[in-house]
Structure 1
Amino acid sequence: MRRDQPPRPVDVGDVVAVYSDALGAWTASQITGLDAAAKCAAVLELDWSGPEPATVADLGDVQPLRLTHHSWGGKLSYCNRSWVLPRSFTVIGSLPLLVIEPSYSYASVWGRGEQLARQRHWDSGDREDWNAPNALTCTADELGAEHTPGVVRAGVKHLTVRGITRLDCTRLVASFPDLTRLSLSGNLGTLTSAAALNQLPRLQALTISELFGMDASDCLLPNHVPEIEDVSLYGISADYATAMRKTWRPHVRHGVQLDVRGARKPEWVAANAANPLRDWDGREHIPRTGYRKAVAQYKATRDAFLTEVTGGEDHGNIAEIGRAFGAAFNALDSRTRFIETVEREELFDALEFLADEAQTAAGRDLSAARAALIEGVDSSRDW
């Protein structure tokens, strides 16, 4: 497999087709560009659906899909995606390029007719939000509250569960046996019996984020989940990450998009349970020394705030604690610009986290102190 070519052979101008659950029919896209350095393919979705096409002639006089729903304003459904052509997509031939200009949008997952379904829903005159059929998105609490154990939800094919503290995969699989796409996320939560996911034979995509408790024995096995084409793991147990990477890397050439990042050892999980900036560890544009200094500053601010609010009713120094926090991150950011929109929001989330901790420790409402801290930060920050 040459590194300057996509793992599955495709070329500029190729038209690819895939079955769309959203449309209940097949749909198609054209590859208009390949970028070996970025490992991206520019993918233009087509305004077509129908029976499975054998060749491009079956598409007729096909046109690019233009989006007018919501605020798209007639833009092309056109995006740079991973150049790994998913295994469920088939090359059916080639056409002259329907667009010449490059795409400036990026996404990792290939579209399977969802945008075309949204556009047709809009064109029908229905302005209600379109929801993907057979899909369920919920929090772990909602899943536990609304789902009766032992009741099978066979109609659900796409399941997204957020906010997981602890989840038993054996029970999940028993309740949702027909899943094709599964996304699970938490905040240092725990997955148990993750090997049970091998009992989902139609599974095509698995995303796990910020969940631990899995080890090498929980690895998905190709002969149990033969339709897998997207494995995305972020912030997961190191042993599980190693096993999944080793098992699935040879299948990239067959159309499996593999993305494994943020593998963590148990010691790291234990040490960072109370560190709201832990996601900065290893983030590409944040220097290692910058991360360490950011965590040290956060801890110093947390300790100072806790001392202040538990030392009496007079909180006159809290605004100064906030100003020092803002100034410290001004200095860190001036060396290597790394505080962008996401990091700015995460810093304010970290301040909310420490204020919540302090309120629990103090046993009383700290709304005024919290407001003073934020006001102090805002008065000095440049980020």
Structure 2
Amino acid sequence: MSGRAQLMWDEAVTGYDFGSSHPMDPVRLALTMGLVRAFGLDGAVDVRSAKSAGESTLRLVHREDYVAAVRSASAAPGSADQAYGLGTVDDPAFAGMHEASALIAGLSVGAAEAVWRGESRHAVNFTGGLHHAMPGAASGFCVYNDPALAIARLLELGAERVAYVDVDVHHGDGVQAAFWEDPRVLTVSLHEHPRTLFPQTGWPEETGAGAGEGGAVNVALPAGTGDAGWLRAFHAVVPELLEDFRPQVLVTQHGADTHAEDPLAHLAVSLDAQRAVMTACHELAHAYAEDGRWVALGGGGYAVVDVVPRSWTHLVGIAAHAPVEPESVIPASWRDEVYARTRQLGPARMTDGRTPSWKPWEDGYDPADRLDQAVLATRRSAFPLRGLLA
């Protein structure tokens, strides 16, 4: 197995463009790749493209009629059928929508294939993580559900245990739905509470069904949760589940929209805490996944200059075993690129100046603390179904 990580990239992903007034600005992808290059990380990984997801691959998760509807809207955006979630405010139809969406899906599927086949232990597709798309509908800025497609491809290749950990501020509803009754997949999502944020799902009582009961785990975090609470929740839930499940592959989704500056959500997490969770996921992959197999994806993130490029550049560095130090000064060449593209001033360092810390769950539970209440609700709902103590 290669010691070098793979970074999935194709310039054509910037064609995933809902328009100038939409929060999902593809400049975030271009700026991330620019920052990866500015730090020389493109030399520490194997940068690869992949073929777009074809019909048979897309149908591992999506219905035939939905794929046909996406193709139709892609060719004639004015004909988009809102019954499929297309042509809406969240998911406006645009020319080439199918092609751009299928490419992003193909990059995530390619990452999963590379890791499964032993071409690399780790693979990153920060353009992916589009976790809201449903089998028959677009949702939440997501047309094709690339994380679910990557997992489905792993199962098709013979995987018997795949763990999915989603730390986007929004619930990973589409991935959960795809594997709701499948005992081969464990989905874990940490997100802002559904009372205060789209998609209004991800309650701790959502635990899967049938043979998959206990295979969905949800931590619904109170609005305003900051570094200490976010990290406490992650470490109170994720490591124990992965130690028990022992996945053959760990797939993680790293939406950057947990950040305090994100305009679409209400958590107060720093870049430094995001980096800490990325590091933890890397360590958990080496500890519990077979041969350290790890597929890391991007996701949401709408502070497209100050947050997203720095966050996902850290992700690439960690996966490459060449982490960027938080105090690193960002190269002037990248800041010039930021100004040229956006007329904004880019950040100067790879840190928010925080040193994240948290109180381990084992050190005690505060019944008056809303964060602790949320964690306990998750453990009580899901852990006994897996034979674990709440």
TM score, norm. by length of structure 2: 0.28
Please identify which structure carries the higher helix content.
2
Please identify which structure carries the higher strand content.
1
TM score, norm. by length of structure 1: 0.28
Report the structure number with the largest CA radius of gyration.
Answer: 1
